[in-house]
Structure 1
Amino acid sequence: MALLTLAEAKAQLDIDTTTHDTELQTYIDALTATIERIVGPVENRTVTEVIEGRSTTLCLKSVPAVSLTSVTPVHTSGDTLSVADLHLDGTTGIVRRLDGGTFRGGLWTWVYVAGRGTVAPTINLASRILLQHLWRTQYGAARGNIGGGDDYDVNEPVVGWGYAIPNRVLQLLEPYKVPPAVA
């Protein structure tokens, strides 16, 4: 599953030759990290992380989380748990023990699947618009007015993003933003 296929990218840019396929694929590949920085993992992937347990809940870093694969204490003195003993809130990444107990015993190694399973049409559209914007920075007027005139001028960049991501992309991704991290 990709955020954007080569065929979708070429359709968005009105390209009907294979001349730029290699370069265009580089742009497509680069979109994933940028989009996922805002919305979290889209493409499903296995994540392994070590989290210190001291309370009745733990919070996974990569959300949304699809499923838990395993949880093991780093030190053998900790409790052992089965994923069947746990409840995962996939949207927030919060994990609770079903028996109401605490995650004690120090560090735990968590293996889980993070992602969305499918690419929402809005995320795909945001990816297309971002590709169009980035492609235009490379080819500009030489490729004609891809996207139409000054449509991609940015007068007031969003703090932290500069001019790399147009506001329209950020607005499309807003409903899918990951919750802020909790320290």
Structure 2
Amino acid sequence: MAIVTLSAVKTQLNIDESDTSDDEELQLFADSVTTPIETQLGRVVEPRTFADEVRFTGGRSFLVSRTPVISLTSLTSVDGTRSWEVGPGAAHVDPEAGLVTLLSVRPAPGTALVTYQAGDTDIRANVRLAALITIQHLWETQRGATGVQLGGEGESWVPGRGFALPRRAIELLDSPLPGVA
């Protein structure tokens, strides 16, 4: 699954749905835009499965590395000899913080492997639009659109930022300033 569909990409680029000549390249763009957007947001957008090693030192809680957490799949010792229940009632998950607390057991100290699903269950409109703007930017700049300057479509380059995400997309993704309506 990608943040945006091939059909949405074609609509953004004003390409007729029946024109399939660039579908493979456009699908690559749709698939590739996920990583820079997730990096910008600092969170997983496209839901998928992850596995982390966690170290128990006597407590019941641990952090997973990617958020928001949708669900836990399994928790096993790295040697595969033990497993712990992670379903409802056995574990509590703070989805945004990635904090998992085991409710029914206290694992012995050691390393375990946790498998879980993370990502947004509903991708927000501003994220989808940022993805489409980024794809359009990449599509137009590789085709030598006239008048494209550094940053794309007259946008200035922002130090510390790459060229792939245009400023318009970044502004759609950035959080509003505190206290500003």
TM tier relative to shorter chain? 0.7 to 0.9
* 1:91–1:18 distance in 2 versus 1, CA, 3 Å: same
The aligned runs of 1:56-95 (5 Å cut-off) are 56-74=60-78, 81-83=84-86, 84-95=89-100
Match of 2:29 in 1: 27
Cα deviation, 1:37-96, whole Å, max 9, x if unaligned, reads 233322222212211123453110121110111112235898x53213221011111112
Return the match for 1:53 from 52, 56, 61.
Answer: 56
Q: Which has the higher helix share?
A: 1
Match of 1:96 in 2: 101
Please tell me whether the aligned partners of residues 88 and 94 of structure 1 are also in contact (alpha carbons under 8 angstroms): yes
How many angstroms does 1:127 deviate by? 0.4
Residue type matched to 2:10 in 1? Answer: K
Residue type matched to 1:21 in 2? Answer: D
* 1:155–1:77 distance in 2 versus 1, CA, 3 Å: same
Residue type matched to 1:34 in 2? Answer: P
Match of 1:153 in 2: 154
Equivalent residues, number = 168
Cα deviation, 1:134-160, whole Å, max 9, x if unaligned, reads 111111326xx89xxx9633424251x
Please tell me whether the aligned partners of residues 41 and 62 of structure 1 are also in contact (alpha carbons under 8 angstroms): yes
The aligned runs of 1:89-168 (5 Å cut-off) are 89-98=94-103, 104-141=108-145, 152-159=153-160, 161-168=161-168
Residue type matched to 2:72 in 1? Answer: L
Instruction: Give the fraction of aligned pairs with identical amino acids, expressed as a percent.
Output: 33
Match of 1:10 in 2: 10
How many angstroms does 1:102 deviate by? 5.9
Point out which structure has higher relative CO (alpha carbons under 8 A, 6+ apart): 1
TM-score of the superposition, structure 2-length normalised? Answer: 0.78
Please tell me whether the aligned partners of residues 43 and 115 of structure 1 are also in contact (alpha carbons under 8 angstroms): yes
Residue type matched to 1:18 in 2? Answer: T
Report the RMSD for the aligned CA atoms in angstroms. 2.8
* Partners of 1:167 and 1:114 in 2: CA distance: 27
5+ residue gaps in structure 1? 177-183
Please tell me whether the aligned partners of residues 60 and 103 of structure 2 are also in contact (alpha carbons under 8 angstroms): no
* Partners of 2:175 and 2:163 in 1: CA distance: 21
